[in-house]
Amino acid sequence: MRGGERVLEQLLDMFPGADVFTHVYDPDKVSEKIRAANVRETFIGRLPGARRHYQKYLPLMPMALEELDLREYDLVISSESGPAKGIITRPDALHLCYCHSPMRYLWDHYHDYKATAGTVSRALMPALFHRLRQWDVNSASRVDGIVANSHFIAQRIRKVWGREARVVHPPVAVDAFKPAGDVTDRYLWISQMTPYKRADVALEAFNRLGVPALMVGDGEMFDYVQTRAGPNVEVRKRLSFDELKRAYATCRALVFTPEEDFGIVPVEANASGRPVIAFGRGGVLDSIVDGRTGLFFHQQTADALCECLHRFDAWLPSFDPEVAVSNAARFSPQAFAAGIREALEFHSGHASRKVA
C-alpha cells in the first residue's frame, strides 16, 4: 500500500463498480477496499515468481496490456508509473491516464539504474530499453487525456511524450494527522532506504551536527544507515500508524532529501503541524511553501543540508503550525476527486460511464 494504491482506493470510491486490471495482484498486501473490488491479472501474474520479481517481466508487459479485452468499457482510467497506459480501448471510449511518472528507468534515471544493474542486465538494457522507449512514446498517443500528479511530472510528460497534462495532486489522508503540544528537539527522516532517497545525506548531516534524529525506512540501504548512525540517531525499519502520527506531530522538523515525483510524506508532516526541510526540486515545490511551511536546500549534499539546518534554527520562531495544516488541506482526497471529475468533464463532457 503506497501512493499508487491510495490513488486506486480513491478512484474506487468515485467509481464503486469499477473493475480493476493489474499485472500482479497479492490480496494479502492490499487494503480491504481493494480486495472488495473485482481485480483481474494479466498473464504476467501467472508467470513463475511474478509476485516477488515482477520487474523482471518488464519486456513482456506491453504485450500483456495489449492482450486485455476492454471492449466492454467506455471509460478507462489508467494509473501510470509503468506501462499501464498501453492498453487498447474501443474507438468511442475515453481513456484518462493519471500519471505518477513516465517510467523513470527508461528516461532521466536510466543511467542510474544501468549503473546498479547486474552484468547481464546491463548488457541487455541498451537495445531493450531503446525499443521500450519507442513503445512508451507511441502508447502515450493512444490516451485521450493525461493528468499529472505534480507540475514536475507534467514537465517530464511534456519532455518525453510531447503531451500536455493537467495537474491533480494525489490524495493524502490529511485529516488522519493532528498537531501535538509536546514538540521535541528530534528531527524525523522517513522514506524507503533506497539510493535515490538519499538517506546518506540526512545521516551525514545528523552525525556531523550531533542533533537528535529518528530515521525510519526499509530497503537496500538500511544496513548502511544502521551501522553508520551515531548515538544521536535512532534507526527503525517501520512504525505503526499510531507511532507514525506521533513521530510527525512531535518532531522538530521533517527532513526530506529525495527528488520526488510528488512526495506524500512532506504533506503528512505539514498536516501534523510541523515544518519540512526539503531538497528543493521535484514535486515538493508543489507541496511546501518555502519560508512559510518549511525551508529548501538546493544541493543534494550534507553540506547544503547542514547549512539549511542552521538557517532553520533562526527561522523556526516564525513558523506557524496552523499555516502548515491549512497548506496540507489542499491535498485532501476531496480535492483529488474534484480534480479527476474536472478532468473527465473536460475530456468527455460527463463522467457517467462504465469504468475499468
Q: What's the one-letter identity of residue 107?
A: W
| Beta-carbon contacts of residue 136 (< 8 Å; ≥ 6 apart) | 83, 102, 103, 106, 160, 161
State the DSSP string of 197-242. Answer: G-HHHHHHHHHHHT--EEEE--STTHHHHHHH--TTEEEES---HH
Band of the pLDDT at 145, cuts 50, 70, 90?
very high
Neighbours of 315 (CB within 10 A): 15
Cut 0.75: pTM above it = yes
Mean pLDDT in residue range 222-241: 96
d(CA 107, CA 159): 10
Provide the 3-class DSSP secondary structure of residue 254.
strand
Taking 50 as the threshold, does the pLDDT of residue 160 lie above it? yes
- pLDDT-derived band at 356 (thresholds 50, 70, 90) equals low
Amino acid residing at 352: S
User: Given its phi and psi angles, is residue 189 left (phi above 0), alpha (psi -120 to 50 degrees) or beta?
Assistant: beta
Portion of the chain with pLDDT greater than 70, in percent: 98
What does the pLDDT read at residue 265?
A: 97
Residue corresponding to grid cell 493525461: 146
Tens of pLDDT, residue by residue over 302-321, are: 999 999 999 999 999 999 99
pLDDT in tens, 333-347: 999 999 999 999 988
Query: What would the pLDDT profile of 246-280 be if each residue is shown by its tens digit?
Result: 999 999 999 999 999 999 999 999 999 999 999 99
User: What tens digit of pLDDT does each residue of 71-91 get?
Assistant: 999 999 999 988 899 999 999
pLDDT range class, residue 349, cuts 50, 70, 90: low
When computed from its CA atoms, the radius of gyration of the chain, rounded to whole angstroms, is: 21
Average pLDDT of the chain?
Answer: 93
How confident is the model over 259-268, as pLDDT tens digits?
A: 999 999 999 9
- Rounded to whole angstroms, the Cα distance separating 220 from 211 reads 25
Checking if the pLDDT of 355 tops 70, the result is: no
pLDDT at residue 20 is higher than 80:
yes
Regarding predicted confidence, which is higher, 256 or 128? Answer: 256
- The C-alpha atoms of residue 80 and residue 289 are separated, in whole angstroms, by 27
Q: What is the mean pLDDT of residues 217-236?
A: 96
Confidence of residue 353 (pLDDT cuts 50, 70, 90): low
User: Grid coordinates in use for 2?
Assistant: 503506497
pLDDT of residue 3: 79
Rounded to whole angstroms, the Cα distance separating 74 from 353 reads 6
pLDDT tens-digit series, residues 30-76: 999 999 999 999 999 999 988 888 888 888 999 999 999 999 999 99
Q: How far apart are CA 183 and CA 205, in angstroms?
A: 21
